Chains A and B, each alone.
Chain A
Amino acid sequence: MAGPLTNYRFWAYAGFAILLLALPLVGDEFWLNRVAKYLCYGMLGAAVALTWGYAGVLNLGQGLFFGIGAYAMAMALKLKSYTSLQQGSDQPVPDFMLWNAQPGAPTELCCITPGSWMWLPFQWQWTGVIVAVVLPAILAGIMGRIIFGQRISGVFVSIITLALVLLVRLVVTDAQPLTNGFNGLTDLGWLTVFGHEFDPYAKGTYYLVAVALILVLGLSRLLVATRAGTILQATRDSDTRALYLGYDVPAYQTFFFAVSAAIAGLAGMLYVIVSEFASPSFLELSFSITMVVWAAVGGRGSILGAAVGAILINMIEAHVSETESLVEAWKAIIGLLFVVTVIYLPKGLAGFAHERIARLAGPRAALQLKEEAGQ
Chain B
Amino acid sequence: MAPDEGRAETALLLRKTRFQDLLDHLVQAGYRVIGPTVREGVVTYDEIHRVEQIPRGWVDLQEPGKYRLRYDKNNPFWFSFTPGPISLKRYLFPPTQTLFRVRRDNGRPRAEAVIPDPPRYAFLGVRGCDVRAVAVQDRVYIDRQGQFSDSYYAKARERCLIIAVECQTFADTCFCTSMGSGPQVQSGADLVLTELPDAFVVRSLSDKGQAIVSALELPPAAPEQVAEADQAVREAAGSMERRVDTTDIRNLLLRNLENPRWEEVAKRCIACANCTMVCPTCFCFTVQEVTDLSGENIERRRVQDSCFNPEFSYAFGTIVRQTVSSRYRQWLTHKFATWYDQFGTPGCVGCGRCITWCPVGIDVTEELQAIRNSDGERGASA
Q: Do A and B bind each other?
A: no
Question: Could you list which residues of chain A lie within 8 angstroms of chain B, going by C-beta atoms?
Answer: none
Binding site for A on B (CB under 8 A): none
